[in-house]
Structure 1
Amino acid sequence: MEQSLSAHPMIAAGDELPLIHDLTETLPRLLGSPLAYPEALSELWMGDQREGLDLLRDVYLQRSRQMGIGQAPGTHYFTDKMPLNETHLGLIALMFPASPLIHVIRHPLDIMVSAFSNHFTHGFCCATALETAALHYARIFDLVAHYRAEMPGIRYRAIRYEDIVLRQEESLRGLFDVIGVDFDPACLTFHSNRRYARTASYAQVTEPLYDRSVGRWRQYRRHLEPVLPILAPAMAQLGYDVS
């Protein structure tokens, strides 16, 4: 998705930026709060912190400029695809209310298989046992649902990995409508994007679109049985089955 978006002349790739996570650690000090994040956000109700969100946004953008991200002429947007950014969806929406928040959805069982097919250097201890990986997914799914229910005005857009594979142009055109920029056909040939993608799938994103990763979980159905009850509510709400 990032390779597709950054093939557009107005969009730059930011890769996996640690900036939001870093902000959650420094936020109490920036807001002068004795509380930890997220409770420290309660300081925003105080009269002398009415511009607190502006401060947080400025810190994020200053750090991104120092990293040289999105500085090319004509760039209007840059991506930040740090894993688990969705756990801070509320904070991101407060800081950047006009920014589209793109959430790539995939069959939860394919995510389980993918998690055990890669060695994560920053797995947050959630991908070393199948049950904990599934529980981690289920809790984040519930957290995202909570943010969306409590903040109905956020510019959240979910897009299915399977739709990208099967209906690439239709999916991307709908996404660019949400972002607010004209579609560029170059985005369909993301594999021609010469930038190096800092991601576990760095090799795959240099290939043309393929569908061999859709439904890969079926080959491991027997091994996935223990997590079916954990993932069943999310799969039901997302419309994924296990038949």
Structure 2
Amino acid sequence: MAGILETIVERERRRMEGQVFPTPFRARPLRGEGPFERALRRAELPVIAEFKRASPSLGPFALDADLASRLGAYARGGAACFSVLAESQAFGGRPEDIPLALGFGLPVLYKGFVCTRAHLEEACALGAQAVLLIVRVLGGELPAYAAAARALGLEPLVELHDPGEIPAAQACHARLVGWNVRNLADFSEGPADAAPLRRAFPGALLIRESGLRSPELAREALAQGFDALLIGEALMRAPDPAAYLDAVRR
């Protein structure tokens, strides 16, 4: 890890020091397909619509965004799932947004920089169905974190940024595999190719993340072999997010 990523992870470790989150009564170990994966596989529009207020590359660009109105537009546009940022300083996330997002009836991804078991407990306590696990952050600990997530009933979405990270995701038998074109060291963008991922994960659901600035680029990503899309900044900046999603569908 280097640069921005290292700073964020260290800050998140400090945030979680001494934190204890009660496990909800509803939590049950997850085996096989969960509601997040199911929603994406069955959706007419397999999009994870993200809510975030800022990013390291853009700074604060949507600090005044209203969570309810934005997520309502995502739901009207046909999004299959939500992604809600939990990291506050770089992305303007708020963990308390997750229970509010659940009120729309769609599965929710706890999106943050999971680097302690307390992060998994927080995601579970907040009611999220899925949690983001970043290979570059967890390294050799990834299989243990994926197993711990499933034990809490959370679906792990395993995020890769480089083909060299594929073996780590294979080791944890990932069912949801995200390919983030953004380099987390400097937040520049790189290429996206679904072919090596499909060979490595023939039965997994492949999710393209980042860089989908227009409906045309989103449609191209699906045509190139990705099964689902995670769209954040473009939807947050769109005057009419429902229309944006409708354009992706067309």
Between structure 1 and structure 2, the one with the greater Rg is 1
Per residue, is there more helix in 1 or in 2? 1
Same fold (TM over 0.5): no
Considering Cα pairs closer than 8 Å and 6+ residues apart, tell me whether 1 or 2 has the greater RCO.
1
TM-score relative to the length of structure 1: 0.29
